[in-house]
Amino acid sequence: MKTKILLTSLAITSSLTLTNCAYVQSPAKLIEQEATLPEQKQAQQTFNQAQIPTLKRKIAIGRISNESSYGKSLLGASKDTGLGKQITDMLSKSLVQSNHFIVLERPDLGALVAENKFSGSSMNKVGANILLMGSLTEFGRKVDGKSGFLTNTKRQVAFATVDVRLVDVTNGHVIFATSGTGEAVNESGSVFGWGDNRVAYDGTLGDKAIESAISEVVSGIVSELEDSPWETYFLSTKANQIAFSGGKSQGIKVGDTFVVEKKGEKIKSPQSGFMITLPGEQIAKIEVIGLFGNSETDEGSLCKVVSGSIKGYRIDDLVIKENK
């Protein structure tokens, strides 16, 4: 009798064990390395700062091409997969959502100009000091897996690498270059033969891998440009109405202070051949007393001079910088 009870218990236990261990196919997920406590705190701080409006910089997105082997034959003939356009759209969205940039459209500028002509209006083309260019240099999929004594797993992996560079439009000099890599995985497995270890095709894995790579790229761009002071220019220097470009959506608020500099002289370097701007001279400090405008394209700030003087200077000779 004891033997029967024992065998029955073992059978029930085995059945429950097999049922609980059957591996159900998991949804697509991004591969992330385990972060240390300092890294987690830094990530949280970065996230909190991203929620606060910041002084935005103008940036234009230029050519983003697919230079990976994806969509190309062995003879080298390329196939238009649309990846370049897709990456451009994803990068533009990520830059806007970072809350650090005023993003200017360049790839579809022709369509915008044509639409303006059709509507009978003229387009106000705005220039940027920085042009972003780049390419998808690696993109693909692979299937791998592991087999153990009791388990069997298979993974479908998509991976991508995006390389970008920032170019100074005044001289064509590459001022910064960075890369971003991303990976997304769909995994399934079985235990004791229970479960399905066949990996179903997931068409979204490639998009997730590219999105992860772009996120890394944008983080690098933000870190690089934050080291340089934000700049803007006067709209008016009349005694009864001193105003400069930039307002609420760029993080400017009443009470903020900025420094005013007289632009330094530009000279050509005999060593590099580039035009070099000598350090400017600080002549005044201003304080924001009011804001106007409805969006980041037409906003401005009213201000007053709290120290120094801007009298006698041409408006084109002055630059306003972040007071760091």
Residue-wise pLDDT for 113-169, tens only, equals 555 555 555 545 556 788 999 999 999 888 776 665 556 677 888 999 999 999 988
| Domain CATH for 193 | 3.40.50.10610
Higher pLDDT, 125 or 65: 65
Same domain for 182 and 238? no
Same domain for 265 and 142? no
Same domain for 270 and 295? yes
Q: Tell me, yes or no, whether 18 lies in a domain.
A: no
Which of 195, 225, 255 terminates a domain? The answer is 225
Same domain for 301 and 204? no
Higher pLDDT, 34 or 269: 269
At 2 the pLDDT is 40
Q: Tell me, yes or no, whether 84 lies in a domain.
A: yes
Same domain for 64 and 199? yes
Same domain for 246 and 97? no
**Residue 174, both tokens:** 């590459």
Neighbour count for residue 64 (Cβ, 10 Å): 23
Q: Tell me, yes or no, whether 37 lies in a domain.
A: no
At 13 the pLDDT is 40
Higher pLDDT, 7 or 105: 105
> Percent of the chain, pLDDT > 90?
35
How many domains is the chain built from?
Answer: 2
At 9 the pLDDT is 37
Containing domain of residue 164, as a range? Answer: 23-31+51-225
At 257 the pLDDT is 95
Same domain for 314 and 265? yes
Which of 225, 259, 280 terminates a domain? The answer is 225
* pLDDT at residue 248 tops 70: yes
Q: Tell me, yes or no, whether 10 lies in a domain.
A: no
At 226 the pLDDT is 80
